[in-house]
Amino acid sequence: MNLPEINTNLFKQLRFILVETSRAGNIGAVARAMKTMGFSDLVLVTPRFDNALDDPEAVAFASGAGDILAGARVVGSMAEALDGINFAAAVSARLREYSPPVLTPREVAGQLAAQPELHAALIFGNERFGLPNEIVEKCNVLINIPANPEYSSLNLSQAAQVLAYECRMAALDGAPPSMSVRQPAGDANEIGFQGEAASLAQIEGMYEHLERSLVEIGFLDAGNPRKLMPRLKRMFARAQLEKEEVNILRGIARHMVGKRKD
């Protein structure tokens, strides 16, 4: 039996994304949390103030992690932040009706350590409002930190520290025995074979294609869509789609429309 690979590349491949952060100090504190655990890829999506990476409060709270701030990027959209990512995990204390599968930090960290092909992102929302549903629904999983139910409020940097620690430990110790065995690429008949994970952009393109096709064949009412697409996104998120599977689903969508026009 082949054992899961230890993913020391996780330190280079894991991205921390902060969405619409309000406090410069939190950005610096997240940079510090990342550096203490060996991570460096930090992206800010539309922070709510200018010069977020140079703000004196951010620099002060980074406390020695100025190199993480210097290497961070500020982008204007989630699409830019997720460029090159094929596994996204939303971090939130608030559960959603139509969220992707809910996992603990340790479960997600073990999964990332066991799958070296994943280029993953941990997405943290605004300090007051958290992450909007439309971002959560696009993610592969929702991470919920099992804190004290009587007082579960974690500061943004504290949440980042918990995730960074669990990912570090998983990368150094290897994946837990419960993770599925991976087989050599090309041996598709072996139980446990996994292909190349689809990127978030590929999956989002598939959703858009599928939605257009469902409208075209009359299955989805564009004027009254209800919750069909969020339910489908939740279903496919559980599957952790591979690139070839996305292509198959797009082919099915294309064929549905073609048959209707025949």
Q: For residue 101, what is the domain's CATH number?
A: 3.40.1280.10
Q: What is the pLDDT of residue 218?
A: 82
pLDDT tops 60 at residue 122: yes
Distance CA 34, CA 31 (A): 5
Distance CA 75, CA 68 (A): 16
Which tokens sit at 162?
């918990």
In a shared domain, residues 63 and 145: yes
Cα angle 173-152-66, degrees, rounded to a multiple of 5: 60
Distance CA 84, CA 117 (A): 12
The answer to whether 94 and 126 have CB atoms below 8 angstroms apart is no
In a shared domain, residues 210 and 159: no
Q: Which DSSP state fits 126?
A: B
- Look at residues 138, 173, 208 and tell me which one is the last residue of a structural domain: 173
For the chain, the domain total comes to 2
pLDDT tops 60 at residue 177: no
Strand partners, 89: 122, 141
The answer to whether 185 and 244 have CB atoms below 8 angstroms apart is no
Distance CA 91, CA 85 (A): 16
Residue 2 maps to a domain: no
pLDDT band at 262 (very low <50, low <70, confident <90, very high): low
Q: What is the pLDDT of residue 260?
A: 59
In a shared domain, residues 90 and 37: yes
Residue 193 maps to a domain: no
At 126, phi and psi to the nearest 5?
-65, 145
pLDDT tops 90 at residue 186: no
Strand 141-143, strand 87-91: pairing: parallel
Between 212 and 261, the higher pLDDT residue: 212
CB atoms within 10 A of CB 103: 17
In a shared domain, residues 90 and 159: yes
The answer to whether 17 and 115 have CB atoms below 8 angstroms apart is no
Q: Which DSSP state fits 218?
A: T
Strand 120-124, strand 15-19: pairing: parallel
Express each pLDDT in 137-165 by its tens digit. Answer: 889 999 999 999 888 889 999 999 999 99
> What 3-state class would DSSP assign to 59?
helix
Q: Which DSSP state fits 242?
A: B
In a shared domain, residues 162 and 237: no
Residue 192 maps to a domain: no
Q: What is the mean pLDDT of the chain?
A: 85
Strand partners, 48: none
Stretch (H or E) spanning 121 = strand 120-124
pLDDT band at 4 (very low <50, low <70, confident <90, very high): very low
In a shared domain, residues 19 and 56: yes
Instruction: Name residue 28's amino acid.
Output: G
pLDDT tops 80 at residue 89: yes
In a shared domain, residues 242 and 132: no
In a shared domain, residues 152 and 232: no
Task: Write out the residue range of the structural domain in which residue 208 sits.
Answer: 200-258
